[in-house]
């Protein structure tokens, strides 16, 4: 299996710069990721899924977005591309069928979700953009990475609990010594 990194582009948005999106396809649906959250794209020519990739010493846990969005396809994808995402200190990677490219849109071209999106999906998506005579749903990166964030918080809480238990043990042993 050959995995190669595509050129990483440092994206630092300003308040006046137009929004930029990386347009992808998962399960036949166009999804857009805000370019400012993209850390890179990896490719695999044989369609084999990889465990959590490590890039420049940073691990990107796998987010199975196709399952979370119920976009599971019966057939195996011919090629696989992995989008590396980051939001603050939270990181993850999403397998996509195809990365179509970067779309630079005027703010007025980023459309709000229609009224039909009235349930929990309002938290999944930030809006819509038109792409190649189709609509791409703009993903909420915080929602995409929330499982990783929950995992980080639970590990931190667990470490804090272990530290508190260890500290309690030290205090008790010192009290017995007195």
Specify whether 164 is located in the same domain as 122.
no
Arithmetic mean of pLDDT, 15-42: 92
**Structure tokens that stand for 37 in this block:** 């959250």
Domain with 170 in it: 146-178
State percent of the chain over pLDDT 70.
67
Specify whether 37 is located in the same domain as 124.
yes
Residue 115: is its pLDDT beyond 80?
Answer: yes
Specify whether 92 is located in the same domain as 14.
yes
CB 84 within 8 A of CB 141: no
What CATH number is attached to the domain comprising 61?
A: 2.40.50.180
Specify whether 71 is located in the same domain as 9.
yes
- Number of domains comprising the chain: 2
Specify whether 126 is located in the same domain as 166.
no
pTM listed for this prediction: 0.74
Specify whether 108 is located in the same domain as 154.
no
Q: How far apart (Å, rounded) are the C-alpha atoms in residues 112 and 149? A: 26
136-157 CB burial, b ≥16 within 10 A, e <16: bbbbbbebbbbbbbeeeeeeee
pLDDT in tens, 65-113: 988 998 876 555 555 799 999 998 899 999 999 999 999 999 999 999 9
Give the chain's length.
Answer: 178
Specify whether 93 is located in the same domain as 175.
no
Arithmetic mean of pLDDT, 141-166: 63
**Torsion 146-58-17-131 (CA) sign:** negative
Specify whether 130 is located in the same domain as 90.
yes
Specify whether 83 is located in the same domain as 55.
yes
Specify whether 71 is located in the same domain as 158.
no
Specify whether 42 is located in the same domain as 110.
yes
**Structure tokens that stand for 74 in this block:** 């019966």
Residues 6+ apart with CB under 8 A from 172: none
Supply the pLDDT for residue 4. 44
In whole numbers, what is the pLDDT of the chain averaged over residues? 78
Specify whether 77 is located in the same domain as 158.
no
């Amino acid at each position: 299996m050959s995995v190669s990194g595509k050129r990483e582009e440092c994206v630092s948005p300003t308040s006046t710069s137009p929004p930029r999106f990386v347009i992808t396809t998962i399960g036949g649906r166009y999804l857009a990721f805000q370019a400012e959250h993209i850390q890179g794209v990896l490719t695999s020519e044989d369609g084999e899924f990889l465990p959590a990739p490590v890039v420049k010493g940073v691990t990107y846990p796998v987010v199975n977005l196709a399952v979370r969005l119920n976009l599971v396809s019966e057939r195996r994808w011919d090629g696989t591309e992995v989008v590396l995402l980051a939001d603050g200190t939270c990181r993850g990677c999403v397998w996509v069928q195809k990365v179509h490219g970067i779309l630079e849109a005027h703010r007025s071209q980023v459309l709000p979700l229609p009224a039909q999106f009235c349930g929990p999906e309002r938290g999944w998506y930030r809006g819509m953009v038109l792409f190649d005579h189709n609509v791409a749903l703009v993903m909420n990166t915080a929602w995409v990475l929330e499982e990783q964030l929950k995992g980080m918080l639970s590990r931190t809480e667990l470490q804090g609990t272990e530290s508190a238990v260890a500290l309690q043990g030290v205090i008790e042993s010192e009290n017995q010594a007195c």
